[in-house]
């Protein structure tokens, strides 16, 4: 898909991804260190004494999350820097370094991170069960000093999760511009051949103009696939500004997908009037259709979008364009009870007596669906009641 069409394909907010339990402060609070079971050292490693009625294992990782000063002491006495195990508070596959990096920015303790790396060398690229590295967590949290530290220690800047998300992706998703710039300057890959997508796609989907501008400096190819926006950014004006930026950089306005979808069709479907306005300023073809034969006017009429229908018609949309089975925009507007759009189409000389293969004229569709206003509107334009 052309990158520009990302302006409209994704209909929901980005679903939130795994949140370490230690971050969900509203659900519980990490207990004070004195309330945790004490550690005992045995040959072969550390073990924790479970409190009564507790099924979880408290281990060295809890101290890292609490930012306890005993971390250094535990390390000096042989605590494993890469300990993993079942815990009520954290995913079992998280190491102390994962937990340290996943803390809120204001609570991040770089001294603990350095201790974990310096004492016997914590695994900088250790993966959780979902493929998250310490660098992933630091990038997601926007902790610049942690990102720098981990990169200095050889963190894999392009390590991908099972969802094909890199540290750069989650930095973009969470709007951490400084981290984004740092990762890009340090050589983060901007194009994924496996998914045929670039981080520019991701930035456009998120919908932040500032982030898109930053990513464009390192990922200038705006035509390797369609752009689309999801609904995370509610301001249609911002979407319009991003579309204008991409077009000014040479994005092709009329590239179609294998199904015939264009940026204009997608933006019309999502009701992004500002994006449609920008596309029309760049002379988008208003009559390019999907494989079904539906044009942007079909879509705006079906959805009852009077504003977009007006803009498209003013740019020369074929008011009587018929999709497969002979369906026109007027049929769709009448069937769905959109009287304002029906009136607009009739004023633009739409044929009110046209029939598709099921022999239903717009007036009959309005009558069949019980839309009295549609019937009255079509009769005012002289249609025959027996059409």
Q: What local confidence, expressed as pLDDT, does residue 139 receive?
A: 97
pLDDT digits (tens, 9 = 90+) for 166-196: 999 999 999 999 999 999 999 999 987 777 7
Q: Which of 298, 305, 358, 360 is nearest to 332 (CA)?
A: 298
Q: What local confidence, expressed as pLDDT, does residue 151 receive?
A: 98
Q: Residue 152 corresponds to which tokens in the numbers above?
A: 């200095």
| β strands within 14-134, DSSP E | 39-42, 45-48
Q: What local confidence, expressed as pLDDT, does residue 26 receive?
A: 36
Report DSSP letters for 180-219, one per residue: HHHHHHTT---EETTTTEEHHHHHHHHT-HHHHHHHHTT-
Place of tokens 């390390």: 75
Distance CA 307, CA 280 (A): 13
Distance CA 330, CA 334 (A): 6
pLDDT digits (tens, 9 = 90+) for 309-332: 999 999 999 999 998 888 899 989
Q: What local confidence, expressed as pLDDT, does residue 106 receive?
A: 80
Distance CA 327, CA 373 (A): 21
In the three-class reduction of DSSP (H, G, I as helix; E, B as strand; rest coil), residue 347 is classed as helix
Distance CA 226, CA 177 (A): 24
pLDDT digits (tens, 9 = 90+) for 258-268: 889 999 999 99
Q: Are strands 45-48 and 39-42 parallel, antiparallel or unpaired?
A: antiparallel
Is the pTM above the cut of 0.75? Answer: no
Distance CA 226, CA 252 (A): 9
DSSP-assigned letter for residue 228? -
For the chain, residues with pLDDT lower than 50 are 6-58, 356-359, 366-367, 370, 384-387
Residues 6+ apart with CB under 8 A from 310: 344
A 10 A CB-CB count for 366 gives 28
User: What are phi and psi for residue 41, nearest 5 degrees?
Assistant: -95, 130
Distance CA 162, CA 290 (A): 33
Q: What local confidence, expressed as pLDDT, does residue 53 receive?
A: 29
Max distance between CA atoms of the chain, in angstroms, equals: 95
- Give me the sign of the Cα torsion angle 91, 95, 96, 97: negative
What interhelical angle do 306-314 and 339-347 show, nearest 10? Answer: 10
């Amino acid at each position: 898909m052309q990158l520009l069409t990302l302006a409209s394909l994704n209909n929901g907010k980005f679903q939130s991804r795994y949140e370490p339990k230690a971050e969900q402060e509203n659900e519980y609070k990490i207990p004070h260190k004195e309330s945790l079971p004490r550690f005992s050292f045995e040959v072969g490693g550390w073990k924790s004494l479970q409190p009564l009625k507790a099924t979880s294992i408290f281990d060295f990782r809890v101290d890292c999350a609490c930012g306890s000063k005993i971390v250094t002491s535990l390390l000096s006495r042989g605590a494993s820097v890469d300990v993993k195990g079942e815990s009520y508070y954290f995913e079992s596959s998280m190491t102390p370094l994962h937990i340290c990096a996943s803390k809120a920015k204001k609570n991040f303790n770089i001294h603990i991170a350095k201790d974990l790396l310096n004492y016997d060398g914590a695994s900088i690229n250790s993966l959780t069960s979902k493929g998250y590295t310490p660098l992933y967590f630091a990038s997601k949290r926007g902790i610049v000093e942690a990102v720098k530290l981990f990169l200095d220690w050889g963190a894999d800047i392009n390590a991908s999760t099972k969802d094909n998300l890199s540290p750069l992706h989650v930095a973009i998703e969470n709007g951490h511009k400084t981290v984004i710039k740092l990762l890009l300057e340090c050589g983060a890959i901007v194009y994924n051949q496996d998914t045929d997508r670039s981080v520019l796609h991701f930035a456009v989907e998120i919908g932040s103009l500032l982030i898109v501008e930053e990513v464009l400096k390192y990922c200038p190819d705006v035509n390797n696939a369609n752009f689309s926006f999801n609904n995370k950014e509610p301001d249609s004006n911002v979407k319009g500004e991003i579309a204008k930026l991409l077009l000014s950089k040479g994005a092709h306005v009329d590239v179609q997908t294998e199904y015939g979808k264009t940026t204009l069709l997608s933006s019309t479907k999502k009701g992004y009037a500002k994006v449609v306005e920008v596309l029309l300023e760049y002379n988008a073809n208003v009559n390019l259709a999907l494989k079904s034969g539906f044009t942007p006017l079909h879509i705006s009429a079906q959805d009852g979008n009077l504003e977009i229908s007006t803009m498209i018609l003013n740019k020369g949309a074929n008011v009587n364009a018929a999709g497969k089975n002979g369906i026109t925009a007027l049929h769709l507007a009448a069937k769905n009870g959109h009287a304002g759009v029906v009136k607009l189409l009739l004023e633009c000389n739409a044929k009110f007596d046209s029939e598709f293969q099921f022999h239903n004229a717009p007036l009959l569709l309005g009558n069949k669906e019980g839309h009295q206003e549609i019937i009255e509107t079509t009769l005012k334009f002289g249609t025959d009641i027996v059409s």
